[in-house]
Structure 1
Amino acid sequence: MFVTILFGDFSADGRMEMFNLNCKLINFIHHLKEKCGLDLKECVDLMDSSGKVMNLEAKQHSVALANSVLAERQYYVLLRVCPEDDAGGRKYVSLLNNESQSHPELTELLRKLSNKDKEPDRKIRRVRTHRSKKISTKSHHI
């Protein structure tokens, strides 16, 4: 049971590594960071081909097996998780270089993921603004 992780300059030097899923998540994530040349303190995650983020950050200390979260023989893109603000927002940055040229759909998925926490606020504000206009309009007619 294994997965393939894509990172680095995929088009030039074919950076992809295979990882065994028959281990604890805590060990899998540690080995992933080591093998990909990342600082062990960095927060990372993986995104599958459908754009789903595996949420490894929340499971980084888990002793569950990696195969309970990741599907065998799948390809995943390595992501860096950057805290964006005090409200708990995150920004996902692909560690696959030149993804905008080689995988333009990935750039759009990452943009949506990084902004998903902000979108509900915009919708709520629009609804509130719309309601307040209705209320103020009604009060003028009384």
Structure 2
Amino acid sequence: MSTQLFISVRYGENRQELFNPHCKSQLLLDCIREKCHCREGEILDLVDENGNVAMISDADNSTEYASQFLEGRKNYVLIRIIKSLSGKEPNRYEALLQNIERHHPDLAERLERMSKPAQLTTAKDKKFQSAKKRGTLSHIKAKSPKRNSVVK
């Protein structure tokens, strides 16, 4: 006899619902959409408290059992995925748990980082990298971490 373990999904104004992940991923998402009052057409998924997206919304995973991607007795936060239209920028991940910064500050920060494109290199960084390659760093002054003297 196998033990059915439920998952807890947090959303809205600090609301929480229990779901049985022992079903196909698409069916679980449909149940979550209905119970958590989400709009049709939104791409929903779950993220654990460490910021790991379950990816049950992925088309390749929709016919697989959600229990393959989710751990029983664990808490998840409901998120909306906004796909990048250009494909050049990363997808945006929005928590559907209001005031997530207060409940899970690390998770809020992680979702924000995952949604931002890679940092562009500034002109100053490019100049430094170019000088470093040419071996002409002597004109660039830097402070030594051990003392406040100038390195030449």
Query: Residue in 1 aligned with 2:94?
Result: 93
AA aligned opposite 2:17 = E
How many corresponding residue pairs? 130
Q: Displacement, 1:44? A: 1.2
| TM value normalised by structure 1 | 0.76
Contact 1:3 1:73 in 2 (8 A): yes
Distance 2:37 2:60 in 1: 17
Given the superposition, is the C-alpha separation of residues 128 and 21 from structure 1 closer, same or farther in structure 2, using an over 3 Å criterion? Answer: same
Higher relative contact order (CA 8 A, sep 6+): 1
Query: Residue in 1 aligned with 2:51?
Result: 51
Q: Which runs of no fewer than 5 residues in structure 1 stay unpaired?
A: none
Matches within 5 A, 1:1-142: 1-10=5-14, 15-59=15-59, 62-86=62-86, 87-115=88-116, 118-119=117-118, 122=120, 130-134=128-132
Distance 2:43 2:62 in 1: 14
**Hey, which of these two has a bigger chunk of helix by percent?**
1
State percent identity of aligned pairs: 28
Larger radius of gyration: 2
AA aligned opposite 1:8 = G
Distance 2:60 2:46 in 1: 12
AA aligned opposite 2:20 = N
Contact 1:30 1:40 in 2 (8 A): no
Instruction: After the TM superposition, list the runs of 4 or more consecutive aligned residues in structure 1 that deviate by more than 4 angstroms.
Output: 125-131, 134-138
After superposition, the C-alpha distances for 1:48-78 in whole angstroms (9 at most, x for unaligned) are: 1221111223147621111011111110000
AA aligned opposite 2:80 = R
AA aligned opposite 1:43 = I
Q: Displacement, 1:101? A: 2.4
Q: Which runs of no fewer than 5 residues in structure 2 stay unpaired?
A: 137-152
Distance 1:68 1:54 in 2: 10
AA aligned opposite 1:106 = L
RMSD in angstroms over aligned alpha carbons? 2.6
